[in-house]
A and B are shown apart, each in its own frame.
Chain A
Amino acid sequence: MLDQHRDYVLRTVEERGVRLVRLWFTDVLGTLKSFAITPAELENALNDGMTFDGSSIDGYSRTEESDVLAIPDPNTFEVLPWVDPKTAEARVFCDIHNLDGTTFGGDPRQVLRRNLDAARADGFEFLIAPDIEYFYFEHPKKGEAPVPLDEGGFFDLTTTDVASSLRKETIRTLEVLGIPVEYSFHEDAPSQQEIDLRHTDALTMADSVMTFRMIVKEIAAMHNVHATFMPKPLEGVQGSGMHLHLSLFKDDANAFYSPDDPHMLSPIAKSFMAGLLHHAAEITAVTNQYVNSYKRLVPGFEAPVHVSWARNNRSGLIRVPIPKRGNPNATRIEYRSPDPACNPYLAFSVMLAAGMKGIREGYELPAEADANLFQMSDTELAKLGVTQLPQSLSDALKLMEKSELVAEALGEHIFDWFLRNKRREWMEYKTQVTPYEINRYLRSL
């Protein structure tokens, strides 16, 4: 099968006159990296991989040896639709290996593979469908506040909506690349968009999220517009989240579904949810990895603040949507804290690890919190046993540092590098004197 696979890629390159093949991979922070090879080198690359110096990639640096090997995954080979067919280009995602062929600990894609394999050993296949929010702004000038393209609101339909034609073009391109879109609409905030992707297995979805972010930005840039996945770019309006719809399948049946439960949730779904809730605080540094991420996780903007679950309450961390027509395959849970600036490979890894721990150790699901938690006092919340997500990157890092679960899920290489890198980010932020402080204090103190 693998030989046929390679053969297919090589023939396609030949037949379509592909001039450049872009090898894609991801650094630890989730930035897409790429280098290009010519078709002549492709066969060699598919068989033996391409060596490159990893020391300039965030999170790849090691003391002993900086060269690593990128081995293309022929499954992910796609001709890029926005390039002139006369000089066609293709992309392929790579797995990063050490020169001796062992998997490289700094490669997020391999981290996710390892976590998926662990779940698979228990018979589970992890499926994800993300709802990705982002903003369009006029091309930003350094130091100036972002300018939205419009003042539209949720589901608004305006004929002069530049953003909506951008969104349409984006969706067309996604579909041509085999990334099916379920819904798309104008979100609450000015110039905010949401595109919901149809579920796939977690590895394909992490690749798709990487491709998605690239395409959204690329197409916006072609029209001199700036697209951003920054979690909270505007004060006073809601930020951008990436709600993740999760399910596990076992023996081709949805393991989250049970016809006997009043909420249609199986014991497996409940202990998976319990695992996610129990470990939510310690994985938040990974699902919300920037200083700015925590400006989104505040009350009043449809983002979760409390560690709780409910069926139809969007203030909780986990929502259990009611599936259409009671379709067993559509039973799923929605994890609402992650933002679209996370590294999807790592975020999916820690979420899966948390849920699987709940299953393996039979965690009890706490009671549903169906009231609006934002209207409750701290004493009332404490009585319900509802805790909070970390309030800042610093808090999140402290919790992550103590987490066996995260260390194991990410592996030592990424765990250490991530903490070091993020602590530096926090230190940098902490030493800033912000406009808020100047306005608030300069004259009054």
Chain B
Amino acid sequence: MGSEMIVVFPGTTSPDLARTLDLGGYRWKAVGDANEAQRIEPQEGWLGAIISCDEDPESAWAFARSIRKRDNPVNAVLLLISGAQLAELELRDELFDDFCLTPFHPRELEARLRHMFSLVSGAPRADLVENSGLVLNLETYQATFNGRPLDLTFMEYELLKFLAQNPGKVFTREMLLSRVWGYEYYGGARTVDVHVRRLRAKLGEEHANLIQTVRSVGYRFGQGRWGN
């Protein structure tokens, strides 16, 4: 599996963008140019890139080209672009995967990012979800934690998989119910609580906080960006 880090251009990030990424649970780094992007790139490569074109379009396109045309191109590139610049997209289709008009609506940007990354991560890759000592083998349905096998029921496994695939993101009970159980289950949102408690029990007391309760919202896997 690739890294979870997004590279953001240019080096000074607008507060709105930073906020949207943080709330979405994304990990990201802003860079001033392609060299810097190369230098601080995580070993597994960037998950994707977000490029703002409205400040300095020329260097933005240069940046896009350099991360796309190199040996290990970044596969998910989203542009933030103003309506007046739309014509610039023409004949540059190979440089980006999606775009969002500025000023962007945070919910739209988040939805687009999610969609783009799901397409990229849907591409062939090892069927492993790894996070904080937890390894889920999607091929064999086996879960281990710090090397120790975890015996889970199917729904516990599905819930853990969903959370571990979306680390740092806060989900409401309703959302987990609809995404993991698919609403055909009639236990209601308490079902989610019961399963989270069972998962925590199986992970062991000292790791129970791997799945965190976010008060009056829902649950989150791993640490939030603010370390709370």
> Contacts of B184 on A, CB cut-off 8 Å?
1
Residues 144-168 (chain B) with a chain A CB within 8 angstroms:
149, 151-157
Binds B, one of A61-69, A71-79, A302-310, A341-349: A71-79
A-B pairs, 7 with minimum CB distance: A175-B201, A178-B198, A79-B151, A8-B154, A252-B189, A180-B201, A180-B197
In the complex the two chains form, is A75's CB within 8 Å of B153's CB?
A: yes
In the complex the two chains form, is B153's CB within 8 Å of A201's CB?
A: no
In the complex the two chains form, is A176's CB within 8 Å of B202's CB?
A: yes
> Contacts of A11 on B, CB cut-off 8 Å?
140-142
In the complex the two chains form, is A15's CB within 8 Å of B142's CB?
A: yes
Residues 9-32 (chain B) with a chain A CB within 8 angstroms:
none
> Contacts of B188 on A, CB cut-off 8 Å?
125, 249, 251-252
B103 in the interface (beta carbon within 8 A): no
A273 in the interface (beta carbon within 8 A): no
Nearest chain B residue, comparing its CB with the CB of A5: B154
B191 in the interface (beta carbon within 8 A): yes
B182 in the interface (beta carbon within 8 A): yes
Give min CB distance, A212 to chain B, whole Å.
Answer: 13
Assembly CA distance A5 to B184 (angstroms): 14
Nearest chain B residue, comparing its CB with the CB of A12: B141
Assembly CA distance A174 to B187 (angstroms): 22
> Contacts of B204 on A, CB cut-off 8 Å?
175
Scoring A residues 1 to 36 as 1 if CB is less than 8 Å from chain B, else 0, what string do you get? 100110111011001100000000000000000000
In the complex the two chains form, is A120's CB within 8 Å of B186's CB?
A: yes
Assembly CA distance A365 to B27 (angstroms): 56
> Contacts of B187 on A, CB cut-off 8 Å?
125, 201
> Contacts of B194 on A, CB cut-off 8 Å?
198-201, 204
> Contacts of B179 on A, CB cut-off 8 Å?
none
Scoring B residues 197 to 215 as 1 if CB is less than 8 Å from chain A, else 0, what string do you get? 1101110110000000000
B190 in the interface (beta carbon within 8 A): yes
Residues 93-152 (chain B) with a chain A CB within 8 angstroms:
140-142, 149, 151-152
A350 in the interface (beta carbon within 8 A): no
Assembly CA distance A1 to B184 (angstroms): 9
A127 in the interface (beta carbon within 8 A): yes
> Contacts of A5 on B, CB cut-off 8 Å?
154
Assembly CA distance A146 to B212 (angstroms): 46
Known pairs A125-B187, A204-B194, A252-B188 / 18 extra A-B pairs, C-beta < 8 Å? A4-B154, A11-B142, A12-B141, A12-B142, A15-B141, A74-B154, A75-B154, A78-B151, A125-B190, A175-B201, A178-B152, A178-B156, A178-B198, A180-B198, A180-B200, A198-B194, A251-B188, A329-B190
Give min CB distance, A207 to chain B, whole Å.
Answer: 11
* 18 sampled A-B residue pairs with Cβ under 8 A: A1-B182, A11-B141, A15-B141, A16-B149, A75-B154, A78-B153, A125-B187, A174-B201, A175-B202, A176-B201, A178-B156, A178-B202, A179-B201, A180-B200, A199-B194, A201-B187, A252-B173, A252-B190
Give min CB distance, B112 to chain A, whole Å.
Answer: 30
Assembly CA distance A5 to B153 (angstroms): 9
Give the interface size bracket for B toward A: 20 to 34
Residues 75-130 (chain A) with a chain B CB within 8 angstroms:
75-79, 81, 85, 120, 125, 127
- Taking a contact as CB atoms closer than 8 A, the residue among B141, B149, B153, B191 that contacts A76 in the complex is B153
In the complex the two chains form, is A178's CB within 8 Å of B153's CB?
A: yes
Give min CB distance, A73 to chain B, whole Å.
Answer: 10
Assembly CA distance A74 to B158 (angstroms): 14
- Taking a contact as CB atoms closer than 8 A, the residue among B154, B182, B202 that contacts A9 in the complex is B154
Given A8-B157, A81-B151 in contact, is the A15-B140 Cβ separation under 8 Å? yes
Nearest chain A residue, comparing its CB with the CB of B190: A249
> Contacts of A201 on B, CB cut-off 8 Å?
187, 190-191, 194
Assembly CA distance A168 to B89 (angstroms): 65
Nearest chain A residue, comparing its CB with the CB of B189: A252
Assembly CA distance A79 to B154 (angstroms): 12
> Contacts of A1 on B, CB cut-off 8 Å?
182, 184
Nearest chain B residue, comparing its CB with the CB of A250: B188
Give min CB distance, B151 to chain A, whole Å.
Answer: 4
Assembly CA distance A178 to B156 (angstroms): 9
> Contacts of B141 on A, CB cut-off 8 Å?
7-8, 11-12, 15
Give min CB distance, B180 to chain A, whole Å.
Answer: 11
Give min CB distance, B178 to chain A, whole Å.
Answer: 12
Nearest chain B residue, comparing its CB with the CB of A11: B141
Assembly CA distance A128 to B92 (angstroms): 61
In the complex the two chains form, is A176's CB within 8 Å of B140's CB?
A: no
Give min CB distance, B66 to chain A, whole Å.
Answer: 43
> Contacts of B156 on A, CB cut-off 8 Å?
178
> Contacts of B154 on A, CB cut-off 8 Å?
4-5, 8-9, 74-75, 77
> Contacts of B182 on A, CB cut-off 8 Å?
1
> Contacts of A329 on B, CB cut-off 8 Å?
190
Give min CB distance, B144 to chain A, whole Å.
Answer: 11
Given A15-B140, A178-B201 in contact, is the A77-B153 Cβ separation under 8 Å? yes
Nearest chain B residue, comparing its CB with the CB of A90: B151
Assembly CA distance A365 to B190 (angstroms): 27
Assembly CA distance A204 to B185 (angstroms): 14
> Contacts of B149 on A, CB cut-off 8 Å?
16, 85
Give min CB distance, B169 to chain A, whole Å.
Answer: 21
> Contacts of A77 on B, CB cut-off 8 Å?
153-154
Give min CB distance, A243 to chain B, whole Å.
Answer: 20
> Contacts of A180 on B, CB cut-off 8 Å?
197-198, 200-201
Scoring A residues 319 to 332 as 1 if CB is less than 8 Å from chain B, else 0, what string do you get? 00000000001000
> Contacts of A198 on B, CB cut-off 8 Å?
194, 197
Nearest chain B residue, comparing its CB with the CB of A7: B141
Assembly CA distance A127 to B197 (angstroms): 15
Nearest chain B residue, comparing its CB with the CB of A127: B190
> Contacts of B197 on A, CB cut-off 8 Å?
180, 198
Residues 34-76 (chain A) with a chain B CB within 8 angstroms:
74-76
